[in-house]
Structure 1
Amino acid sequence: MTPFAGKTYWLVGASHGLGREIARQLADQEARLILSARSEDALRKLAQELCNAIVLPLDVTDTDAVAQAARTAGPLDGVIYNAGVYEPMRTQNWDSGAVLKMSDVNFTGALRVLGEVVPGFVRQRRGDITLVGSLAGYRGLPASIGYGASKAALVSLAETMRHDLKDSGVTVRLVNPGFIKTRLTYKNSFRMPQLMDPEDAARHVIAAMRSRRFRTDFPRPFSFAINALNLLPDWIVYRGK
């Protein structure tokens, strides 16, 4: 018997990459899964591989659709918000449409989903919330207009919820990966330190869900290097710029 056996998790952002591997590993541990993303075909293909998985296509930018999906999902033991979009972009190349889309999916979409789920968790005094952020949310980085800001907002949201929901019976955790081999990182033209396979990254997420920690950053030592930037004064970080 695993900690996930027989429990129902709504995995938002399940169709590809990290989300798909999280689904596979939770299914291996006998969890019941509700799989959501925009790509219905990819979700159905994944569900055919798994036991106890149902497909619930969803665009997290559609408020009414999120509310309907939450009603369809029914009672939950946990929710995992992994939906995300990414476009590498420097400030000089600002594309408002792309920036707003990143914000709407990566952060505002989480607000929509949580707004439907959290009140029920609070009332029943139990529930498990996992927010998948990014190490890019810890410090403003080059060519991260839109993406970095949306992930920083998600980090702040998780920290606030952790304060407010202490002793409520509702668990909140934040998982911040580094670079993962997905359709998103294929867009990068720079070297990505400690680039991880989705399977390895999913194992970190599942381990975090088993633990009592609020925050899990990985991989090491790359996560240490990113966090160390916050300890440096701005004149060093932006030297020569």
Structure 2
Amino acid sequence: MPPFEKLPKDQVKVTSSTVMNNLQGKRLWLIGASTGIGRDLALLLAKEGVAVVISARNEGALQSLIQEMKPVETELGSHSLVVYDVKKMDMAKGAFEAAGELDGIIYCAGAYEPMTAHKPNLVALEEMVEINYCGAFRVLAEIVPRFVQRKSGYILLIGSISGYRGLPNAWGYGATKAALMHLAENLKCDLMGSGVRIQICNLGFVETRLTDKNNFKMPFIMDTKSAAQRIVKGMKSKRFEIAFPLIMVLALKFLALLPRPLYFTVISLMGNKSDRNS
């Protein structure tokens, strides 16, 4: 499908319920679907009976994914794609309208560059801010008012446990994920009683082209299929936060409770060598 070709109304419909304990029959827009977690999540959602609208910048990758999803049809019809660059402010409205009627959205777009304050890369920093955070705002600015108006909708933001507290080697990236957590909490507070359901998924290390850039040990790293399975399981729950792996989540949440002087002491005792790894 060409960018911003709106689906005919008779090809789409949405359900009134935003409860995701049964995903079958839902129609979800997945942004950041061309590779990694997003790609496997799209495939798994299709198998769950979701009509998936997939978006990313790479049209070729989206076309390939659509072909792989084709055998899994749903009661809402075939899956579709909308080419969309989240960095471009003027594309948000057109992309949303092209996606058609939706039960919800999953924002999975992400950029990552390992970095320390010793050697900042401004281009990479701005890329992470634009994709990880500002892109979410652009989409939500179009979607939230319409979901509120009809009194139903579902929003899932894909974050990272690196946002729980400032960590070595995460200059820029961790800040964007902390901001995304804050945004999810803002939405939860503002939209209570509106019929719009909010979730955030905070992940540990997942094997993708992004984590391939790391030159340090990544504990409890998992593959993208396992991550997608955990996300879908979390979507069916009533939890606000989906977070895994559990051991890392508990460890980082414990560290987040520490007073700053004690926290920085713990980090220093762990042997922060970020100046040599940058």
**Same structural fold, with TM-score higher than 0.5 when normalized by the shorter chain:** yes
Other-structure match for 1:84: 110
Other-structure match for 1:11: 30
The partner residue of 1:146 within 162, 172, 186 is 172
The partner residue of 2:48 within 22, 29, 51 is 29
In 2, the alpha carbon distance for the partners of 1:36 and 1:66 equals: 11
Aligned residues: 240
Other-structure match for 2:63: 44
Q: Does 1:178 align with 2:197?
A: no
Question: Following TM superposition, where does structure 1 have runs of at least 4 consecutive aligned residues deviating by more than 3 angstroms?
Answer: none
Q: TM-score normalised to the size of structure 2?
A: 0.84
In 1, the alpha carbon distance for the partners of 2:203 and 2:229 equals: 11
Q: Secondary structure at the match of 2:257?
A: coil
Q: Deviations over 1:206-226 (max 9, x none)?
A: 011111110111011111111
Q: Secondary structure at the match of 1:55?
A: strand
Shift of 1:236: 2.4
Other-structure match for 1:123: 149
Shift of 1:63: 1.0
Q: Secondary structure at the match of 1:190?
A: coil
Shift of 1:233: 2.2
Q: Which amino acid aligns with 1:192?
A: M
In 1, the alpha carbon distance for the partners of 2:237 and 2:193 equals: 17
Q: Which amino acid aligns with 1:11?
A: L
In 2, the alpha carbon distance for the partners of 1:116 and 1:231 equals: 35
In 2, the alpha carbon distance for the partners of 1:83 and 1:115 equals: 16
Q: Does 1:96 align with 2:96?
A: no
The partner residue of 1:206 within 206, 229, 232 is 232
Q: Secondary structure at the match of 1:93?
A: coil
| Structure 2: runs of 5+ lacking an equivalent | 1-20, 71-77, 273-278
Other-structure match for 2:188: 162
Other-structure match for 1:218: 244
In 1, the alpha carbon distance for the partners of 2:81 and 2:39 equals: 13
Other-structure match for 2:215: 189
CA RMSD of the aligned region, Å? 1.2
Other-structure match for 1:64: 90
In 2, the alpha carbon distance for the partners of 1:211 and 1:44 equals: 31
Q: Which amino acid aligns with 1:127?
A: G
Structure with greater Cα Rg:
2
Q: Which amino acid aligns with 1:128?
A: Y
Q: Deviations over 1:40-84 (max 9, x none)?
A: 111110110113221111100101111111111121101000000
In 1, the alpha carbon distance for the partners of 2:216 and 2:262 equals: 22
In 1, the alpha carbon distance for the partners of 2:215 and 2:263 equals: 22
Q: Deviations over 1:126-184 (max 9, x none)?
A: 00100001001111011111100100000000001111111111000011010000000
Q: Secondary structure at the match of 2:242?
A: strand
Shift of 1:96: 1.1
Q: TM-score normalised to the size of structure 1?
A: 0.97
The partner residue of 2:257 within 218, 228, 231 is 231
Shift of 1:6: 2.2
Shift of 1:237: 2.2
Shift of 1:199: 0.7
In 2, the alpha carbon distance for the partners of 1:211 and 1:38 equals: 31
Q: Secondary structure at the match of 1:111?
A: helix
Q: Which amino acid aligns with 1:172?
A: I
Shift of 1:19: 0.4
Shift of 1:5: 1.9
Q: Secondary structure at the match of 1:183?
A: coil
The partner residue of 2:79 within 53, 78, 88 is 53
